[in-house]
């Protein structure tokens, strides 16, 4: 056969695998994968630079399948090009413990760059990866970092709001190494896209500042697809959108362009008929030897480039090898904490302000550290003193201005961290973390190294009123598995919390005050790292007061009121429930003695507190518009209210 004939057979074999996997699982999405097979073939054999024997090569091209429901397509390509995904793995599609879960999962399957599925997230992740590539290339040189980011997105991705936010940011930043391929198949689950979607994607992305290639309905014309992708690569001063009109389920005799082809509509008879149209054997998971050889050769083709890169890397880095290694792994340099500030006991500092000082001091020792905010930089403690901004003309800037785009900020942060080279800190008001929640959940699922700086953490916000006063947010964030939520009591605990966040893998959330709070005596770096500790101990304690954040000072004041009445109260700071929960039972009991009555104090809803204490002083309602101290007093977050609750608890005992 001619090379073109082999390529056509290869595409049909990929389509066969795309049908066989979901059919074996009786679950999945074969239609989009079948439509995208020609595009995937061109990417993996003609365009992308990668080495399947080294999936973590830092200078590889990145591929993001934002339309993650088409995962069987990506698994098929990883299997064929030699990433160690076996035919048995394809047979185990969507089964317990397999390498081929229902949607792609990073750190689980070799060759998967990001966990996708919630539509639009992957496109925003790709924007973050392109930002990281630009930052690394300009900071360390093209000999160290010089690659592209490819993304396949569908109608659903472009319908979700997060993609609009991210595309707007990418256009503003002129991310020329980013190419998004729009799978324009005109199909949704409910029916034709025209049921709800008639906007002009080409005009919209052009308005965002993107370079748009309208390739039209090229079908299986591989040279036309390649030319469209080449046209995108040729433009280096703007991100590119390549619009390809595809046909879901093609070339099925009866289900091409059918909405039902999106999910599991292909039975055995339809698969047999479709394979007959394609001219391949009606054999599950069939791959011919010549097609296998074609793809294995494509997967190995980047080996020479990788070897050359590794050989040249020491000279390209010079004396910056340690800096590169730390940045790439999202870790700090040795001794970085020596530069961090300390705050004098008895002074009064908002924890958001303490974070700003700590971040500024940390920049030299954390090479990847980059901070930004959704238009609230100085309000959230994410202002890096003396740092230049990340701009279209200077990607070395360590200060990112995300604009009023909280959702995109969260998803872009995931892409920045997953790419490597950038450890992102992103800030907004705590109440607006709601906008970010899908990306936060994915950060926890992927264990990305991101740090959230959420300020204005309670009804202490004051006059802005209940729309801006978070009460349920800390509890909701604590409910996310794998998210380390740290609510420091004062400025020094804030520094310790930043240390813990930087040095621990996975996402961390710093919950910070707008208002000044006293710098306390006895705060402990090790105590914060462990999640909880005795801040003030007493002889023969009668009870324990447990608090987080600004309410630790309230608990200390309440302990003094109780002491004047002869009730010795131990005070515990509990900045991180998740860290505290990892301690052994004896270690936890040494901090919160189960033999003593205990009262929790937090200016948030009381949900979850009874895991640790007998009674809680909290706020199980929305706030009100008034000066912050007035709202706190009216809603019962005062030393007197805590002392009164403690007296009642002691009386009941």
pLDDT at 201 over 70: yes
CA–CA separation, 635 vs 82, rounded Å? Answer: 62
Of the candidates 36, 15, 29, the residue with the CA atom closest to the CA atom of residue 80: 15
CA–CA separation, 164 vs 144, rounded Å? Answer: 31
pLDDT band with cut points at 50, 70 and 90 for residue 2: low
pLDDT tens per residue, range 183-195: 999 999 999 999 9
Residues 235, 121, 11, 190: what is their CA dihedral angle, to the nearest 10 degrees? -120
Nearest-5° angle of CA 68, CA 507, CA 324?
90
Average pLDDT rounded to a whole number, residues 296-306: 98
Checking 190-199 for CB contacts under 8 A at 24+ apart, the result is 190/259, 191/259, 192/259, 193/155, 196/159, 197/155, 197/159
Q: pTM for this one?
A: 0.97
Average pLDDT rounded to a whole number, residues 375-398: 96
Nearest-5° angle of CA 408, CA 409, CA 411?
65
CA–CA separation, 210 vs 225, rounded Å? Answer: 19
pLDDT at 1 over 60: no
Structure tokens at 111: 């060759």
Q: CB atoms < 10 A from the CB of 64, how many?
A: 30
Q: Helix, strand, coil shares of the chain as percentages rounded to 5? A: 45, 15, 40
pLDDT band with cut points at 50, 70 and 90 for residue 4: confident
Which residues are marked as active site? 406
pLDDT tens per residue, range 135-163: 999 999 999 999 999 999 999 999 999 99
DSSP state of 459: G
pLDDT at 134 over 50: yes
Residue 492: per-residue pLDDT: 98
* Contact in structure between 462 and 388 (CB atoms under 8 Å): no
**In order of start, what are the domains of the chain with their CATH numbers?**
3-304 (3.40.50.970), 336-518 (3.40.50.970), 528-652 (3.40.50.920)
CA–CA separation, 377 vs 379, rounded Å? Answer: 5
Average pLDDT rounded to a whole number, residues 475-480: 98
pLDDT band with cut points at 50, 70 and 90 for residue 3: confident
Average pLDDT rounded to a whole number, residues 461-489: 98
* b/e code 209-234 from CB counts within 10 Å (16+ = b): bbbbbebeebeeebebbbebbeebee
Query: What Å distances lie between residue 6 and 3, 12, 72, 153, 247, CA to CA?
Result: 5, 10, 21, 27, 22
Mean predicted lDDT score pLDDT of the chain? 97
SS (H, E, C) 174-216: CCCCEEEEEEECCEECCEEHHHCCCCCHHHHHHHHCCEEEEEE
pLDDT band with cut points at 50, 70 and 90 for residue 653: low
Query: What Å distances lie between residue 369 and 171, 268, 450, CA to CA?
Result: 23, 53, 10
The residue written with tokens 């005050």 in the block is 513
Residue 77: per-residue pLDDT: 98
Average pLDDT rounded to a whole number, residues 223-229: 97
pLDDT at 652 over 80: no
pLDDT tens per residue, range 537-595: 999 999 999 999 999 999 999 999 999 999 999 999 999 999 999 999 999 999 999 99
Cα atoms found within 13 Å of the Cα of residue 367, Cβ hemisphere only: 21
* Contact in structure between 159 and 197 (CB atoms under 8 Å): yes
Structure tokens at 387: 């740092």
Nearest-5° angle of CA 537, CA 485, CA 477?
130
* Contact in structure between 559 and 571 (CB atoms under 8 Å): yes
Query: Which strands, in side-by-side order, build the sheet including 211-216?
Result: 62-65, 149-154, 178-184, 240-245, 211-216
Residue 6: per-residue pLDDT: 94
Residues in the chain: 653
Strands 348-350 and 211-216: unpaired
Local structure of 341: helix, strand or coil:
coil
* b/e code 109-144 from CB counts within 10 Å (16+ = b): bebbbbbbbbbbbbbbbbbbbbbbbbbbbebbeeeb
């Amino acid at each position: 056969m001619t090379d073109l004939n082999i390529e056509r057979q290869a595409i049909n074999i990929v389509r066969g695998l795309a049908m066989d996997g979901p059919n074996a699982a009786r679950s999945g999405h074969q239609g989009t994968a079948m439509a995208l097979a020609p595009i995937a073939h061109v990417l993996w054999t003609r365009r992308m630079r990668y080495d399947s024997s080294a999936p973590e090569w830092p200078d590889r091209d990145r591929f993001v399948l934002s339309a993650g429901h088409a995962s069987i397509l990506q698994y098929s390509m990883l299997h064929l090009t030699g990433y160690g995904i076996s035919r048995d793995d394809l047979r185990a599609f969507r089964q317990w413990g397999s390498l081929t879960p229902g949607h792609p999962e990073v750190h689980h399957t070799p060759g998967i760059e990001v966990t996708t599925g919630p539509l639009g997230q992957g496109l925003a992740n790709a924007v973050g990866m392109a930002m990281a590539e630009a930052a690394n290339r300009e900071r360390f040189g093209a000999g160290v970092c010089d690659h592209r980011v490819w993304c396949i997105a569908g109608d659903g991705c472009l319908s979700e709001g997060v993609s609009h936010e991210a595309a707007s940011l990418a256009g503003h930043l002129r991310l020329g190494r980013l190419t998004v391929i729009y799978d324009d198949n005109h199909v949704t689950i409910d029916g034709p896209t025209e049921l709800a979607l008639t906007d002009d994607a080409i005009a919209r992305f052009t308005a965002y500042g993107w370079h748009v290639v309208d390739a039209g309905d090229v079908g299986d014309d591989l040279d036309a697809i390649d030319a469209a992708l080449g046209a995108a690569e040729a433009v280096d001063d703007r991100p590119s959108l390549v619009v390809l009109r595809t046909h879901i389920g093609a070339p099925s005799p009866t289900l091409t362009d059918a909405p039902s082809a999106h999910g599991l509509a292909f039975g055995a008879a339809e698969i047999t008929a479709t394979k007959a149209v394609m001219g391949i054997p009606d054999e599950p998971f069939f791959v011919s030897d010549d097609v296998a050889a074609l793809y294995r050769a494509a997967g190995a083709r980047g080996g020479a480039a990788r070897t050359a890169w590794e050989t040249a890397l020491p000279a390209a880095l010079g004396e910056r090898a340690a800096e590169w290694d730390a940045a790439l792994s999202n870790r700090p340099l040795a001794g970085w904490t020596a530069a961090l500030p300390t705050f004098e006991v008895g002074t009064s500092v908002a924890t958001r302000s303490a974070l700003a000082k700590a971040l500024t001091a940390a920049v030299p020792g954390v090479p990847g550290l980059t901070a930004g905010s959704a238009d609230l930089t100085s309000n959230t403690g994410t202002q890096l003193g003396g740092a230049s901004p990340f701009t279209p003309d200077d990607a070395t800037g360590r200060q990112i201005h995300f604009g009023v785009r909280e959702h995109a900020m969260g998803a872009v942060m995931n892409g920045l961290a997953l790419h490597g080279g950038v450890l992102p800190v992103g800030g907004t008001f705590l109440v607006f973390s709601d906008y970010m929640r899908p990306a936060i959940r994915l950060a926890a699922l992927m264990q990305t190294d991101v740090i959230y700086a959420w300020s204005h953490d309670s009804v202490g916000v004051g006059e802005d009123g209940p729309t801006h006063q978070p009460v349920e947010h800390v509890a909701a964030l604590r409910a996310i598995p794998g998210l380390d939520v740290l609510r420091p009591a004062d400025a020094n605990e804030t520094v310790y919390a930043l240390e813990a966040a930087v040095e621990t893998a996975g996402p961390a959330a710093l919950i910070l005050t707008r208002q000044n709070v006293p710098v306390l005596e006895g705060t402990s770096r090790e105590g914060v790292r462990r999640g909880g500790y005795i801040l003030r101990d007493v002889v023969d304690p009668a009870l324990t007061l447990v608090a987080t954040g600004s309410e630790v000072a309230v608990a200390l004041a309440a302990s003094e009121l109780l002491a004047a009445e002869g009730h010795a109260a131990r005070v515990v700071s509990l900045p991180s429930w998740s860290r505290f929960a990892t301690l052994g039972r004896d270690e936890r009991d040494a901090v919160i003695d189960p033999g003593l009555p205990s009262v929790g104090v937090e200016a948030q809803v009381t949900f979850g507190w009874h895991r640790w204490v007998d009674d809680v002083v909290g706020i199980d309602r929305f706030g009100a518009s008034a000066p912050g101290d007035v709202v706190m007093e009216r809603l019962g977050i005062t030393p007197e209210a805590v002392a009164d609750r403690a007296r009642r608890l002691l009386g009941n005992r």
